[in-house]
Structure 1
């Protein structure tokens, strides 16, 4: 694991804010030359600290207006079931995140769909592929905070 110093943190904060900024802009902001900044970013990528760079899209502008959190319980906890579940959820582009949980829930899924009919289609495909003992859903009425930036 690469040791992250103050300058690395500042670079990471800048990249989280806007990964499309030029090396010159990032370097100027953090007090490094373009080349020194490039070397540090390369080292952070090689160390796995930077996993990738993406463009964030507006889901509603693309017709995906409904965010749903799907709570799942299963009566099966076998490796075969988990493999089936993992393959099924990874193959559904509406599913943005899948989390194995502690407590009463077994899994929590975050999905982005067009509307209630879109959710129902996703639900029908999911239960056709994976045996589940209980499925419930909560729909986002208002997004108060959403970020991809980690607190550095």
Structure 2
């Protein structure tokens, strides 16, 4: 789907605040409500907008530990990858997963209550999935977290 400047402006607004009304979006992007609503519908139908969520501070709900875990595959077979994909689906503590180039095969972001919870996670995860190596780093402070993407709203 080709996005024009107005589409990108709408996306930028939605990524900043998905609670904005169609009227508010229309006013900012310079459209009336109906064309703005139709553009939103088009963006959702095309899969550009994949959902709308509330952002919650994990520390305020008892999830004060963020861990980044590097996983080196035990092997690079189709079977191992399928087991990996199935295993990560069973752990809600895993909030993000990336297949990587470089020193580790996969990078996982975990959000947990504390180090004891991480230890329990680690033991269960490694019991269920054979890995060559796992490295972990605990985030000491979140300096920047953005839920949106850097979209260019200035050009057509």
The normalised TM-score by structure 1 is 0.96
Moved over 4 A (4+): none
What is the Cα deviation at residue 21 of structure 1?
Answer: 1.0
Deviates more, 1:111-120 or 1:46-55: 46-55
RMSD: 0.8
- 1:73 aligned residue: 72
Return the alpha-carbon distance in structure 1 between the equivalents of residues 148 and 97 of structure 2: 19
The normalised TM-score by structure 2 is 0.94
- 1:115 aligned residue: 114
- 2:89 aligned residue: 90
Q: Is the 8 A contact 2:74 2:80 kept in 1?
A: no
Q: Is the 8 A contact 2:72 2:132 kept in 1?
A: yes
**Matched ranges for 1:122-137 at <5 A:** 122-137=121-136
1:139 paired to 2:143:
no
What is the Cα deviation at residue 54 of structure 1?
Answer: 1.1
Aligned length: 151
Q: Is the 8 A contact 2:62 2:113 kept in 1?
A: yes
SS at match of 1:133: strand
Map Cα deviations across residues 109-143 of structure 1 (whole Å, 9 max, x no partner).
Answer: 00000010011111111111100111110000011
What is the Cα deviation at residue 47 of structure 1?
Answer: 1.3
Q: Which runs of 5+ in 2 are unaligned?
A: 152-156
What is the Cα deviation at residue 75 of structure 1?
Answer: 2.7
What is the Cα deviation at residue 51 of structure 1?
Answer: 1.2
Return the alpha-carbon distance in structure 2 between the equivalents of residues 58 and 145 of structure 1: 13
Return the alpha-carbon distance in structure 1 between the equivalents of residues 148 and 113 of structure 2: 25
